[in-house]
Amino acid sequence: MSEPIKGEIYHDDGRVEATLEYFQPRWLARGLIEELTLVPSKLVTVGGGLPADCGTHIQVRLDLDDSWQLSPHDEGLVTNTECADEQVRRVTTSVDRATVRSWDGRVRREALLGLASTAVLEVLPDGHRARAPLQELVARGASHLPG
């Protein structure tokens, strides 16, 4: 997803806004993308809900790149123009595309779910009840990640 397609949005007032579209690779199962979203979301919801300083939701970006960035980068509150200009808490990490592609489905699921959970943990307060189950997901995925 590090190779975006450039586009433009034409507004009624004559403005033209440049956009970048990131499409998931065909080798990355759609069900996995949904799981990477839903599993942490459910844990946060059941564990007490979204902290007030996270805006409308936590937006985790796992960039498929040519290098690893396993430590999450908290970008703070940002405007998510993809969803009605809502304020979201964005956290980013990146994984080596070639390595992720080489993994079988089970390893890919465990590693990416662990990494997504690491990103969510970055912004959850210490006392949040979702921390323990998210940390279990991190532990399961850690053996597949470098370092």
CB 16 within 8 A of CB 8: yes
Beta bridge partners of 92: 61, 73
What are the pLDDT digits (tens) for 14-31?
Answer: 888 887 676 778 888 889
What are the pLDDT digits (tens) for 71-88?
Answer: 999 999 888 766 667 888
What are the pLDDT digits (tens) for 107-132?
Answer: 999 999 999 999 999 999 999 999 99
Number of H helices, E strands in the chain: 4, 5
Model confidence, pTM = 0.83
